[in-house]
Structure 1
């Protein structure tokens, strides 16, 4: 059974679920296209404020589907080591990876492109491609080094060994390690809080800066430009007013209103 992507949306939160039945949500070329389409759809929908990415059953994603004909690693001119477009880091919403079980290879490197990661305590995590004659994909040489530093990235990427959720938290790769049954509910709880209380425009602008590889001076310039955009909009007064009145803010600055 090829892994498909199920989408459900409620209270401003879109949950994208990798569903591959008994195959532990193995990732194929078709999965990459379907996930990219789903991410593009929620990215363009102003009613969606937060995205949660998870897996069905007992795995998040156990890696690439290496069966013949899967299209995962066909060596052709169109091949990309980052097959999901847009990548989670490019979606102008908070993207939370609810890693409910094993995340191996692209299952983990895809999660590294998300903004937050909640991991099941018993999950097996690894980027084992160097043990398969390949190497880490989905920009993991960038994401892992920026999340955890070169020393941790080297241990994960160059040894290909498995590691635990506890190690992932200690290294700064994951935000929390939780019992498997709590991973998705906690992720959704965080997502709903952000969807209700956080300015979509502020989050989108902040995320752009966080994922940009800028110098300190360039970062400060980008922050200044973002502040000027936000200060010119009524939401700059709505946020403090909602805080003073102890109510949920009524944001009107949409992500689609932001300049490119």
Structure 2
């Protein structure tokens, strides 16, 4: 039985719920990383999955790192190389796995997303915030840096100047400021958060699985690719898409003026 992550599936939709509300759903000092990696591998292997919602139980989305674990790392018994290894084999594996998951991921931010919790939300494709949500790139307040990829992720979402302001001050943003800064795409009342996330997921899952996965992969590659390279990859992906049964069904459904029926 899972200690941290609840995995629920409703047809093409998977809901992942972080479930250590008493500790505000931390990502370290527990089994969070291996459970996330196992869930991501399960989603990769299930081609029927077309969308994922990630959320947290309790008053926080994710509090980031466990402070007690940070205190342990500061002791003389733990070397710099040990800490480096812990990051590379721990939270950084989660960053790469979640960011590269081919299925679209919606972060339903139900409360505080702090430090690595904010970066976790930034690993997702879309962020919806409850009106009580709060966000902070707060590593500087503990005298450390974003060791989980936040320095790469956050500027690509809010821009370099705003990312620098968040990272250099550690200041908290409320949900409305996060919306104004494009950190989230919408803010909804707390009681309506999962309904809004499910509605958005439904608009995604109605489309063909191959098309959704290839589109996300193409967008990921476009982040750091040259235009000519992305165009070449687009031609390859399009050739694959044209030969799928889903494409044939979508075309037939359009011509027949009916909803497509994807396998």
TM-score by length of 1: 0.88
Matches within 5 A, 1:103-182: 103-182=113-192
Mean Cα deviation higher: 223-232 or 102-111: 223-232
In 2, distance between residues paired with 1:70 and 1:243? 60
2:4, 2:179 → 1: CA distance? 29
Residue 185 (structure 1) aligned to one of 195, 202, 208:
195
How many residues align? The count is 250
Change (3 A) 1:200 1:59: same
Cα distance in 2 for partners of 1:6, 1:225 equals: 36
Q: In the alignment, what sits opposite 2:77?
A: none
CA pair 147-176 structure 1, distance change in 2 beyond 3 A:
same
Cα distance, 1:70–1:235 mapped onto 2, change above 3 Å? farther
C-alpha spacing 1:247/1:129, structure 2 compared with 1 (3 Å): same
Partner of residue 204, structure 1: 213
RMSD: 2.3
- 1:35 & 1:108 partners in 2: Cα distance? 16
SS in 2 for 1:27: coil
Q: Structure 2 regions of 5+ residues with no counterpart?
A: 75-81
Q: Distance in 1 between matches of 2:159 and 2:70?
A: 37
Once the two structures are TM-superposed, the CA of residue 84 in structure 1 deviates from its matched residue by 1.1
The equivalent residue for 1:217 is: 228
User: Are the equivalent residues in 2 in contact too, given 1:36–1:86 (CA < 8 A)?
Assistant: no
Unpaired runs of 5+ residues, structure 1, are: 253-260
Q: Is the 8 A contact 1:7 1:16 kept in 2?
A: yes
Q: Deviations over 1:97-119 (max 9, x none)?
A: 01011110111101101011001
Q: Is the 8 A contact 2:95 2:149 kept in 1?
A: no
What residue number does 1:57 align with?
58
Q: For 1:228-239, list aligned pairs within 5 A.
A: 228-239=239-250
TM-score by length of 2: 0.87
Aligned: 1:40 with 2:41:
yes
